[in-house]
Chains A and B, each alone.
Chain A
Amino acid sequence: MIGEIQFDGVLIPALLAVAVEAFLVLFVLRTILRRLHFYRFVWHAGLFDTALYVVILWLAVLVRMPFHSFGVGP
């Protein structure tokens, strides 16, 4: 995940872009879970959401990663 995205001449770190995407995913997911009254079963919603965000971010980074960095590519 090293690299930068160019946006209208401004360089933005790629991780920032992914972090924003992950936040949007979290936002949608949270709304769905709330509609399902899922949070009645969660002890500490703040902590749960933070952890959920970290997981989503990790997944997002994983998806973006070029294959060779797993050590399986050519």
Chain B
Amino acid sequence: MQLSSKTIAFVLANTMAVLMALYIAFASDLERPYWAMFTVFIVANPLTGAVRSKTVFRLIGTVTGAAMALLLIPPLVDAPVLLSLAISLWVGLCLYMSLQDRRPHSYAFMLAGYTAAIVGFSAVNTPNAIFDTAVARVEEISVGLVCAVVAHSVIFPQNVLKGLTERIDRALRRCGTWITDALAATQSSDLQGQQQLSKLVSDLQILYEHVSFETSDVPRNASVVWALQDRLALILPRVSSVQAALAALSAMGPLTGSTLQAIEAVSQWARATPGAHGALPSHAESEALAALARLSAQSEDGAEWSSLLKRTVATQLGELLTDLSDAVCLADALKNPFATSTPGPRLEPPSRRSLSGDRGLALLSAFAATAGTLMACALWIQGSWPEGAVAAQFAAIGCSLFATLDNPPKVLFVGIVGVLLALPVAALYEFAIFPRIDGFASLALVLTPVLLLFSWMQASERLAIMGFLLAISFAGGLALQESYRPDFAAFINTNTAEIAGLAIAAVVSLIFTTIDPVWNAARISRAGWNEVARLADRPNRDIRQWTLRMFDRLGLVLQRLLAAKRSDLVGPRIDGLRDLRVGINLATLRRSSGALPTAARQSMNPVLNAVADAYLGLAHGKPLVGAGSERAIDQGLAVLRAQAPTRTVEDIVTALVGLRLDLTPFGSRYTPPPLNS
């Protein structure tokens, strides 16, 4: 809300872009200059990279949509029902495609959908001019886009990275706190924080796509971001597995010397690390590593449960240490890309990664968009309503634009309020101010105050959607054209149609896409359980990609549960961190057991099958904890005891212990069989 220099720069740039777009559109005699005007508002974003990427995708989407309208209108113009059906289906199809993925390019698909509706429906009365209409729309939008890009890139651009690095810093500091909390055995689960970290990891993915569109001075190092993402996604599961192992250990009796020492050393390190920019406190790190080495050395040969647990604690803490210090290094590398002095962690080769879209919901939203557009078309055709085209356009826009939000009807109602609020302002301009002015200079002068106001609203976080809607409906209501043609009846008719279209969209999404957040959280969790089962079933799945997806799910589930104030539901069934732990252990088991002799390797198969069964059972409503997995894991541990204690065997043992902690009732202990049997 405050008037920072960033906000001022954005507001000025945006206002200038709008005026520039209007001037060019008027000067080149375009049919509807107000299209250029609201295009600027649509792509406006305080982040330059976001403006530039949205511009590219909007251009692609508009051209595709206009081309589709060009293809559909001539053959179908005499069959209104077929035409409505075709365009509605196209809108739905495009929306479905766009919801497959949350990356910025999905915008192009959505736009291709409703641009076809906009161009197509506005051309039905003059089908001969369809080509001109389509070209005019593309021209007007391009003018708006170019103006927005130039203004936002030239006038004090803000890059995406800056905000992201600030959030990364905050997240790393919080990770340090989590580690100390977990080691101090304070049983507080910071669900809010977990959700924020998950959102950050997903945002790193989504927002980083904008960076390749940033101004040239912003460094592109995607591999650093990806590596950072992988590390950040692993920290929470690792912290929680340390927590679980420690809880099991303290249930067996008070913690002893070396364990306490290791805990103390690692806590010290975790307190110091995330705050230290660049210069890692190396003595704290080496001390922590030494304490961990002592802990695992001390419990080296023991096969009983407590030594296994101690070794697990040591291994997990070691991995946690590596991950967090890598993450700190990578965050520094992201901030100062040219300081190559610190030896960074090894960067994995980049892999194709995407966040899962929700197929089922995408289908539902697509269906809603088709239904909404069709409904508006039916009113238009049945009622011979001259402005029905506008209603159909706005129904398509309303259903598409807000489909990604959690609660579309609410935003749509806000949109209707926005139109109603913008109406009097637009009317004031149209019927009181415009008759008194002449020429572009005075037009610019009278428009500037409102443009400044709307831009300022868009810059602030809370008012962004409201500002956007006000700007759009103001521009639409004004419908600035070449010469001043006051027509009060048309003004009212068009705006009523706009409101009707948005209301239809609101009703349709109220019926189809309003989903109980708790139910949705359960649904997302179930998809995650099936993923765990699949990971156990099939070899060679990319664990990094899997972890990111699961971590993203964790955030989505928590977000919904927190919004519904039902965080009490996180427990024996819904527990994203447990699923992640199990998955990571499964991946270790799979990867490392390849190095075992054949007989031992085959004895791991029952474990994998048992885990897969347990998770499939969970997805079908049974409890996760069962005797089957306990037996399989115990047998696996017994087999491994006969193997030479190499590094690989140790890894597998740790993974099995981790699985046992999650899949057996709390307090259940493993008792090793006597060696000679």
The answer on a CB contact under 8 Å between B150 and A50 is: yes
- With A46-B153, A50-B150 already in contact, the answer to whether A39 and B338 are too (CB < 8 A) is no
The answer on a CB contact under 8 Å between A46 and B338 is: no
Q: How many residues of A contact B (CB 8 A)?
A: 14
Report how far A30 CA is from B215 CA in the complex, Å. 10
The answer on a CB contact under 8 Å between A34 and B216 is: yes
- With A46-B48, A46-B157 already in contact, the answer to whether A39 and B150 are too (CB < 8 A) is no
Contact of B215 among A33, A37, A40, A46 (CB under 8 A): A46
The answer on a CB contact under 8 Å between A42 and B153 is: no
Chain A residues lying within 8 Å of B157, measured Cβ to Cβ, are 45-46
Chain B residues lying within 8 Å of A50, measured Cβ to Cβ, are 150, 153-154
The answer on a CB contact under 8 Å between B154 and A45 is: no
Report how far A18 CA is from B302 CA in the complex, Å. 77
The answer on a CB contact under 8 Å between B338 and A33 is: no
The answer on a CB contact under 8 Å between A45 and B217 is: yes
The answer on a CB contact under 8 Å between A49 and B338 is: no
- With A37-B338, A40-B338 already in contact, the answer to whether A49 and B150 are too (CB < 8 A) is no
User: Does chain B have a CB within 8 A of A2?
Assistant: no
The answer on a CB contact under 8 Å between B154 and A42 is: no
Report how far A39 CA is from B218 CA in the complex, Å. 9
The answer on a CB contact under 8 Å between B150 and A42 is: no
The answer on a CB contact under 8 Å between B338 and A47 is: no
Min C-beta distance of A74 to chain B, whole Å: 35
Min C-beta distance of A37 to chain B, whole Å: 7
**Interface residues as binary, B140-170 with A (CB distance below 8 Å gives 1, 0 otherwise):** 0000000000100110010000000000000
Report how far A39 CA is from B217 CA in the complex, Å. 5
Report how far A39 CA is from B150 CA in the complex, Å. 18
Chain B residues lying within 8 Å of A37, measured Cβ to Cβ, are 338
Chain B residues lying within 8 Å of A46, measured Cβ to Cβ, are 48, 153-154, 157, 215
Report how far A7 CA is from B218 CA in the complex, Å. 37
Chain A residues lying within 8 Å of B215, measured Cβ to Cβ, are 45-46, 49
Contact of A33 among B153, B154, B216, B218 (CB under 8 A): B216
List residues of A (42-70) whose CB comes within 8 Å of B's CBs.
Answer: 42, 44-50
Chain A residue at minimal CB-CB distance from B153: A46
List residues of A (1-45) whose CB comes within 8 Å of B's CBs.
Answer: 30, 33-34, 37, 39-40, 42, 44-45
Chain A residues lying within 8 Å of B216, measured Cβ to Cβ, are 30, 33-34, 39, 42, 45, 48-49
Report how far A37 CA is from B338 CA in the complex, Å. 9
Chain B residues lying within 8 Å of A42, measured Cβ to Cβ, are 216-217
Chain B residues lying within 8 Å of A44, measured Cβ to Cβ, are 154
Min C-beta distance of B495 to chain A, whole Å: 35
Chain B residue at minimal CB-CB distance from A51: B154
Which of B48, B153, B154, B216: most chain A CB closer than 10 A?
A: B216
Chain B residues lying within 8 Å of A33, measured Cβ to Cβ, are 216
Chain B residue at minimal CB-CB distance from A45: B217
Chain B residues lying within 8 Å of A39, measured Cβ to Cβ, are 216-217
Chain A residue at minimal CB-CB distance from B48: A46
Report how far A40 CA is from B218 CA in the complex, Å. 9
Report how far A46 CA is from B150 CA in the complex, Å. 8
List residues of B (202-255) whose CB comes within 8 Å of A's CBs.
Answer: 215-218, 220
Chain B residues lying within 8 Å of A40, measured Cβ to Cβ, are 217, 338
Report how far A37 CA is from B217 CA in the complex, Å. 8
Chain A residues lying within 8 Å of B217, measured Cβ to Cβ, are 39-40, 42, 45
Report how far A49 CA is from B338 CA in the complex, Å. 21
Min C-beta distance of A49 to chain B, whole Å: 6
Report how far A39 CA is from B216 CA in the complex, Å. 7
Chain A residues lying within 8 Å of B153, measured Cβ to Cβ, are 46-47, 49-50
Chain A residues lying within 8 Å of B150, measured Cβ to Cβ, are 50
Chain A residue at minimal CB-CB distance from B155: A46
Report how far A45 CA is from B153 CA in the complex, Å. 8
Report how far A16 CA is from B283 CA in the complex, Å. 63
Report how far A10 CA is from B3 CA in the complex, Å. 49
Min C-beta distance of B55 to chain A, whole Å: 13
Which of B153, B217, B218, B338: most chain A CB closer than 10 A?
A: B217
Chain A residues lying within 8 Å of B220, measured Cβ to Cβ, are 34
Report how far A40 CA is from B215 CA in the complex, Å. 12
Chain B residue at minimal CB-CB distance from A52: B216
Min C-beta distance of B4 to chain A, whole Å: 19
Report how far A44 CA is from B218 CA in the complex, Å. 11
Report how far A34 CA is from B431 CA in the complex, Å. 52
**Interface residues as binary, B117-157 with A (CB distance below 8 Å gives 1, 0 otherwise):** 00000000000000000000000000000000010011001
Min C-beta distance of B339 to chain A, whole Å: 12
Chain B residue at minimal CB-CB distance from A43: B217
Report how far A25 CA is from B487 CA in the complex, Å. 48
Chain B residues lying within 8 Å of A30, measured Cβ to Cβ, are 216
Chain A residues lying within 8 Å of B48, measured Cβ to Cβ, are 46
Report how far A18 CA is from B157 CA in the complex, Å. 27
Report how far A58 CA is from B157 CA in the complex, Å. 25
Min C-beta distance of B17 to chain A, whole Å: 13
Chain B residue at minimal CB-CB distance from A47: B154
List residues of B (338-381) whose CB comes within 8 Å of A's CBs.
Answer: 338
List residues of B (305-339) whose CB comes within 8 Å of A's CBs.
Answer: 338
List residues of B (283-321) whose CB comes within 8 Å of A's CBs.
Answer: none
Report how far A46 CA is from B48 CA in the complex, Å. 10
Min C-beta distance of A31 to chain B, whole Å: 9
Min C-beta distance of B466 to chain A, whole Å: 29
Min C-beta distance of A34 to chain B, whole Å: 5
Chain A residues lying within 8 Å of B338, measured Cβ to Cβ, are 37, 40
Chain B residues lying within 8 Å of A47, measured Cβ to Cβ, are 153-154
Report how far A54 CA is from B325 CA in the complex, Å. 46
Which of A42, A46, A47: most chain B CB closer than 10 A?
A: A46
Min C-beta distance of A6 to chain B, whole Å: 15
Chain A to chain B contacts (Cβ below 8 Å), 5 pairs: A42-B216, A45-B216, A45-B217, A45-B218, A46-B157
Q: List 16 additional contacts besides A42-B217, A49-B153; criterion CB under 8 Å.
A: A34-B216, A37-B338, A39-B217, A40-B217, A45-B215, A45-B216, A45-B218, A46-B154, A46-B215, A47-B153, A47-B154, A49-B215, A49-B216, A50-B150, A50-B153, A50-B154
B: which residues have CB within 8 A of A?
48, 150, 153-154, 157, 215-218, 220, 338
Closest 7 CB pairs of A and B: A46-B153, A45-B217, A39-B217, A45-B215, A46-B215, A45-B216, A46-B157
